[in-house]
Structure 1
Amino acid sequence: MSPSDSTQAPFRAGTVAVLGRPNVGKSTLVNALVGAKVSIVSPRPQTTRHRLLGIASFDAGQLLLVDTPGIHREQKRAMNRMMNRAARGAVEGVDAAALVIEAGRWTEEDGLAYSALNAAGVPVALVVNKVDKMADKTELLPFIAEVTRERVFASVHLVSALKSKGLDVLVKDLLQLMPASAPIYGEDEITDRSERFLAGELVREQLMLRLGEELPYSTTVEIERFEEDGEMLRIAAIVWVEREGQKPIVIGKGGERMKAISTGARIGMEKLFGRKVFLETWCRVREGWSDDEAALRRFGYSD
């Protein structure tokens, strides 16, 4: 069909806030729609700490997906409070939202996320994720009936973000909620974040994957140097912990764990940036950084 054909549907572009409680697959969904890894993922809740824009471009339109930290009830530290504010603030000025929940499970925190979206007054698509993991699929219909009772959704979608199942209809319905508009970003752009930011996130992803239950939440990453050297990127990263006793756990016996963290992060960077990376990492202590708003802002956290 030619661009001048009057029957051609208008190109649509707009912003979609992606909200939900921790660990329901919001970042996996954003990555699947963008077609590239812009948000880090791990099996641990609260892996996402920053609000991040994923740019998903299609023939019919463009979705600017605002990936958010999971809305959670406990707000013990300044970082948790900042993450909750970042998630709730993501609904301001958006054209629509996607509430991501886990198939077969609705919790109080899901309710908090819905309330935030309902208060914003934007159309909300309900995205029931991880349907592939639900053993008895006959339970899906009564589950959806219960979730949608007395709650208003523009559409309901059963998806597996990990396996990219059910996403085509989701994209179509989300685009229908967007205004007619020229593309907001270039076709090849995938995020509004810098490569420097993404490098730090890829190091932090390895910390989430390779450390024990609690320690990843006491770590953050600062990129001290990010330089182009011909075809190579030279990157220096500092892993910050909260107590001196945490350093040897991150470093590991003979430096083996830190080496594995660095190798995993470097491989991820080379895949994302499309060039060779020379990565150096150190571990340092900043007492109580996660409960210190000044330290959080220094490390790039924002609400």
Structure 2
Amino acid sequence: MSKVKFYYDPESLSYRKIERKKRKTFAYISLFLLAAFLFSFIIIFIGNLYFESPKEKALKRELENAKLQFELLNKKMDEAEAVLANVADRDNNIYRIYFEANPIPEEQRRAGFGGINRYKNLEGFDNSELIIETNKRLDILQKQIVVQSKSLDEITVLAEEKEKLLAAIPAIQPVSNEDLTRMASGYGMRSDPFTKVRKMHWGMDFTAPRGTPVYATGDGIVKRADAGSSGYGKHIRIDHGFGYMSLYAHLYKYNVKRNQKVKRGDLIGFVGSTGRSQAPHLHYEIWKDGTRINPINFYYGSLTAEEFSKLLEHASLENQSLD
């Protein structure tokens, strides 16, 4: 029960009861509530400034973790870009040069993405710049990987073709050194054994006994195995592809037939002296794109450096040919 308060009235010389007006009471109460509300607001505001709620702490930790993950992702992209740059350098300066392919321009490898703003949905956030730059780097890196992947696919095809080319090019001596009596005559101007007139000798003459094995010098298909060409007698022509053809003349007999596939080192015939020949020997020619070229440059697959040096010395002598 609230206390009753009195005041002294000097006019009536008596104590009168203090009567509190309702309006005044309502004003006091309103003022008290307003002060309490303002005090609470100030406390909450200051608390929000200096104190974090559990939810805010959790969100802040998630944000810091996200930033850390983006930083780690950028470091990994630094490493990936370095590795990819090394692969691209070897691709342009080793692989593509070896396989005679044009290098991929740097601007094509590092081209960005023009046109519309593909990162607009990432704008407007506290860390938008970090997020956008990371996504740009990732997109460019992915594009570079695609470009490099396609280049390596192309190199794979070229390597397969190169392997076929290396197997097809005439690369061994058609008569083994064990069976060879001597290298009688080389490519170039030589004295004709019948007319004694100097004329062009388009191949190399390997002296060997009749019946000595003759081997295919590269992979290919036998296009001719007959005696229908003037001067060559029984001879074989092998089409190696890539513009190369080899010819083996003055044979004693054949070990292959027309349209037969042969591999380098296969026995195709035997040394003889058919056609325009002075003695048993093999006349050997190489053609490239329809033009006869010096066979001396095509023995890297069967001779040592010393053997090749001796062969080169004998081939350079301007002596008399055997056909």
- TM-score normalised by the chain length of structure 2: 0.20
Structure showing greater relative contact order (alpha-carbon pairs closer than 8 Å, 6 or more residues apart): 1
- TM-score normalised by the chain length of structure 1: 0.21
